[in-house]
Amino acid sequence: MNKVFEFLNLIKDNNNREWFQENKDTYDEVYERMNLIANQILYEMNQHDLIETATGKKSLYRIYRDVRFSKDKTPYKSNWSGGFKRATAQKRGGYYYHIEPGGSYLAGGFWGPNKDDLKLIREHLAQDSSEYRKIINSKDFKLTFDIVLGEKLKKCPKGFDIEHPDIDLLRHKQFVLKYNLTDKVVLSDSFPRITSEIFKKMRPYFNLMSEYLTTDSNGIEIYA
């Protein structure tokens, strides 16, 4: 992983196509190293969860930036990142890893729930938030993720009471869990195992949200 960090520091200081082409061999070497690390994480994940993403390579996001609508025209990212999708419609939630010197982290949850999913989540929370609050207020959750992050509405969502006791939860538009990583952890041989362990700690939250989101046509829960 030292080689990965070295490359990311270099590309941060030399973010142009000329330098990248001159150092393409180094990029290819680091890319293969990231494939190996991602495969190790995937192996660890499949010991306790069912992952749809077939290989570590398929989890990796491109290093090339989409600059079409950005004021920042630098062509490359100065980080490596990727995501794993849980398999089957009954297992909801996604895992994300972000590798960057001084700014690495793991995240998971629901970045952009569609309109119907968001409505289901809010309806469940409005009806009974006790199990949800039990999870997010648990000692293990607090020590690992602290709070649920994500964009929120400034006002009350349409169709809900502004005076509802769970309005703080109902205003959420995203539901994201995040865990910051030190460089020491990322550079260690234990990084894939530690990553898997942190992702596993998201499971109680994912399981409850899966229950909220997995229904048949009559709105009856089918998640088991």
Interval 135-170: pLDDT, tens: 999 999 999 999 999 999 999 999 999 999 999 999
In a domain, 219, yes or no: no
Residue at 221 is within a domain: no
Can you give the pTM of this predicted structure?
Answer: 0.91
Give the residue-averaged pLDDT of 90-97. 92
Query: What residues does 176 pair with on adjacent strands?
Result: 109, 149
What pLDDT score does 215 carry?
A: 61
Report if residue 174 sits inside a domain. yes
What's the rounded Cα separation, in Å, for the pair 58 and 119? Answer: 31
Domain that holds residue 143: 2-213
**What are the φ and ψ backbone dihedral angles of 177, each rounded to 5 degrees?**
-105, 140
| Rounded CA separation 136/149 (Å) | 11
pLDDT band at 89 (very low <50, low <70, confident <90, very high): confident
Q: What is the average per-residue pLDDT within 195-212?
A: 96
The answer to whether residue 196 is domain-embedded is yes
Task: Give the count of domains, the chain.
Answer: 1
d(Cα 212, Cα 55) in Å, to the nearest integer?
29
**Predicted confidence (pLDDT) per residue in 20-57, tens digit:** 999 999 999 999 999 999 999 999 999 999 999 999 99
Domain annotation covers residue 68 = yes
As a whole number of angstroms, the distance between CA 224 and CA 209 comes to: 12
Q: Does residue 224 lie in a domain region? A: no
Most confident option among 11-15, 109-113, 215-219:
11-15
Give the span between the Cα atoms of 100 and 103, in whole angstroms. 5
